[in-house]
């Protein structure tokens, strides 16, 4: 009885249809192509993941671009960077994360793994590609990135929060002490914020903070970082500046905020302004001493009438 079972198993394993049926029970998509990238096999997993039936794909060429593979940057891989083409050319295994286009039109993130198929002489005669659905992984990754982003974001103004600013300031100071890349710190207060809240309500106060944040972000350069420190305070870390450049940027911030107004529900306009204390970092500075100097300059601007920048 045992010998007969062994014989039946041997006959089964020698039947090519057995392997095709076996691959149809694999959840991943699997297909074979020859050296010209013509598709010769398309399993049930590939049908499930792409929406295309066997008779729609077998005999087609990958370069027909039915699946329209693109990478994360949106580059079309069938024209350049195709793992199958690379495998045919170098006979090596390749792996990539790509996005295929489902028959219904949506994009599906997949992990692609390709292996060469060799004949008895060792020449590459084709390639097998295995691709698996990465939707759950990509979704989890995006959630993680969003949580990380929120940890460093002030939700009201959509600018960096105090935690991020503290980290950036410490990094800038450390780099300055090693590489002597000059930078400055601006402490920025929204003038008369308590009066805005008291007279027009917290909704208008929130709008004032939001508009101020937008104006400051537009006034500074792409290499600078500005965010909400807390309450009505903002902090900006401006890189590659000397005293003249730091003064010019601080005065530009004052000037642009000065031209910003809010219209309230009573059809009344509220003019906004900021006071700024800006200090250039020195080799002797710590985070605390740099803040102390900027805060002292800010105080001078406040007692001097507000709506002005004091730099040092």
Domains defined along the chain, listed by start = 2-139 (3.30.450.20), 152-311 (3.30.70.270)
Q: Stretch 279-286: mean pLDDT, rounded?
A: 95
Q: What is the mean pLDDT of residues 161-177?
A: 93
User: What pLDDT band is residue 312 in, cutting at 50, 70 and 90?
Assistant: confident
Give the mean pLDDT of the chain: 89
pLDDT for 11 equals 44
Read off the pLDDT of each residue in 23-32 and give the average, rounded to a whole number: 89
- pLDDT single digits (tens) 143-164: 778 878 889 999 999 999 999 9
Question: What is the residue whose two structure tokens read 């937008």?
Answer: 214
Percent share of the chain, pLDDT over 90: 64
Q: Among 17-21, 73-77, 214-218, 300-304, where is mean pLDDT lowest?
A: 17-21
Structure tokens of 207? 């709008």
Asked if 245 and 175 count as a contact pair (C-beta separation under 8 A), the reply is no
Alpha carbon distances (Å) from 48 to 96, 105, 299: 20, 14, 67
What confidence score (pLDDT) does residue 189 get? 96
CB 199 within 8 A of CB 265: no
CA 116/CA 87 separation, integer angstroms: 6
Q: How many angstroms separate the CA atoms of 23 and 46, rounded?
A: 10
DSSP letter for 64, please: G
pLDDT over 50 (residue 180): yes
Confidence band, pLDDT 50/70/90 cuts, at residue 5: very low
The pLDDT, as a whole number, for residue 52 is 96
Which residues lie below 8 Å from residue 27, measured CB to CB, with a gap of 6+?
A: 45, 48, 132
């Amino acid at each position: 009885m045992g010998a007969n079972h062994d014989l039946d198993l041997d006959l089964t394993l020698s039947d090519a249809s057995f392997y095709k049926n076996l691959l149809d029970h694999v959840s991943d998509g699997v297909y074979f192509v020859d050296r010209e990238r013509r598709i010769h096999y398309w399993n049930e997993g590939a049908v499930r993941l792409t929406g295309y039936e066997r008779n729609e794909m077998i005999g087609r060429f990958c370069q027909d671009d039915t699946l329209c593979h693109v990478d994360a940057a949106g580059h079309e891989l069938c024209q350049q960077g195709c793992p199958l083409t690379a495998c045919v050319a170098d006979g090596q295994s390749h792996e990539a994360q790509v996005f295929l286009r489902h028959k219904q039109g949506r994009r599906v993130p997949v992990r692609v793994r390709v292996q060469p198929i060799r004949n008895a002489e060792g020449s590459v005669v084709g390639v097998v590609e295995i691709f698996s659905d990465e939707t759950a992984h990509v979704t989890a990754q995006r959630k993680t990135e969003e949580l990380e982003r929120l940890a460093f974001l002030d939700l009201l103004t959509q600018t960096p929060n105090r935690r991020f600013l503290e980290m950036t300031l410490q990094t800038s100071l450390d780099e300055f002490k090693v590489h002597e890349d000059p930078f400055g710190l601006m402490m920025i207060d929204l003038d008369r914020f308590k009066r805005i809240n008291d007279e027009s309500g917290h909704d208008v106060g929130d709008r004032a903070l939001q508009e101020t944040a937008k104006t400051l972000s537009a006034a500074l350069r792409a290499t600078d970082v500005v965010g909400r420190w807390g309450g009505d305070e903002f902090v900006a870390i401006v890189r590659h500046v000397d005293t003249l450049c730091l003064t010019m940027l601080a005065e530009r911030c004052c000037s642009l905020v000065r031209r910003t107004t809010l219209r309230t529900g009573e059809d009344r306009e509220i003019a906004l302004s900021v006071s700024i204390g800006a200090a250039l970092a020195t080799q002797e500075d710590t985070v605390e001493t740099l803040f102390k100097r900027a805060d002292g300059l800010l105080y001078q601007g406040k007692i001097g009438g507000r709506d002005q920048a004091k730099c040092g």
